[in-house]
Amino acid sequence: MTSIEGPRVIVLNGGSSSGKSRLARELQKVLPDPWLSLSVDDLVDAMPPALVDGGAGIGFGDQGEVSVGDGFRTLETAWMAGVAAMVCAGARVVLDDVFLSGAQSQARVRAQLDGLNVLWVGVRCAPEIAAARELARGDRTAGMAELQAEIVHEGVYYDLEVDTGKTDSLECARAVAARVTF
């Protein structure tokens, strides 16, 4: 009997404050094996201050816009190669990301994860709900959640989509976990 291995990577794509991080934590609770949870925020937090002020790195505008430069892209490529290496070494990874350029962002991630079994999950949330969450959090630039709510999904292919504004995070995690077979 041949066993087909399920996904070893779950990519969660959604805008800021859409509920990706909470969904990742819930997935760690409901999935049967240990899964690492990594986020694009981890990458940004690990960057030197010189690359978090715009220019060649990543910049955050007053209205919530995000810009990325060549320095960020170089480190993002290395980061994703590291994620792929962890998966190849036996880890299972939930990757929380924000595809600022929609389909182009997915293509970059897909290229880095080439040859790996990936479950692509769209994490949706109505812009007004994400904006309210953003305001309650207080650690994001106002307007970021609303700006990103739809653009991150443009042209992106998913195996599954969940809506954290309509469904509790645990139920969303169970829906994602149901797509992971071992």
Q: What is the pLDDT of residues 117-144, one digit of tens each?
A: 999 999 999 999 998 998 888 777 788 8
- What is the distance between the alpha carbons of residues 57 and 82, in angstroms, rounded to a whole number? 19
Catalytic residue among 33, 41, 139, 159: 41
Neighbours of 16 (CB within 10 A): 25
- How many domains are contained in the chain? 1
- Residue-number span of the structural domain to which 67 is assigned: 9-177
Q: Is residue 2 part of a domain?
A: no
Convert the pLDDT of each residue in 78-87 to its tens digit.
Answer: 999 999 999 9
Catalytic: 41?
A: yes
Give the CATH number, domain containing residue 136: 3.40.50.300
Verdict on whether the full-model pTM lies above 0.85:
yes
3-state helix, strand, coil in the chain (%, to 5): 45, 15, 40
Average pLDDT (149-159) is: 96
